[in-house]
Amino acid sequence: MQLNISGHHLNITPSLKQHTNEKLSKIKHHFDQVMNVNMILEVQKDVQTAEATIHVRGADLFAKAESHDMYKSIDKLINKLDSQILKHKEKLHSHRG
């Protein structure tokens, strides 16, 4: 899995990278065919935004989350992406018939 993290008005610290990698392992646990993850972390005044696009076999999944804390934004984002991954995985298995 290739992970690209970029920051707008924010320096990407090693602790942010580590937190993101730990959370993305949850997604990789549910669906191991994740090929590419592009994540953008952004700060605008009081709102901290995390958005990501995941390229998996057969689809591109996108999610965005906002909060007053970047770590909470990342957690919300991963939860959204995880539910999308599970839904995509269910579609793949249900159409094989």
SS3 state of residue 90: helix
Residue 58 pLDDT: 79
Question: Where do the H-state alpha helices sit in the chain?
Answer: 14-30, 70-94
Residue 95 pLDDT: 60
Mean pLDDT across 26-47: 86
Query: Using CA atoms, how far apart are residues 9 and 71, in angstroms rounded to an integer?
Result: 16
Which pLDDT tens digit goes with each residue over 43-76?
A: 998 899 999 999 988 789 999 999 999 999 999 9
Residue 97 pLDDT: 53
**In the CATH hierarchy, which top-level class contains the domain 2-91?**
alpha beta
Mean pLDDT across 2-11: 90
Percent helix, strand, coil in the chain (nearest 5)?
45, 40, 20
Query: Using CA atoms, how far apart are residues 10 and 14, in angstroms rounded to an integer?
Result: 13
**pLDDT at residue 31 is higher than 70:** yes
Q: Find, among 26, 16, 21, the residue nearest to 71 by Cα.
A: 16
Supply the mean pLDDT for the chain.
89
Structure tokens of 68? 């007053």
Q: Find, among 20, 36, 25, 18, the residue nearest to 76 by Cα.
A: 20
Domain ranges of the chain: 2-91
Residue 40 pLDDT: 95
Structure tokens of 2? 């290739």
Residue 35 pLDDT: 79
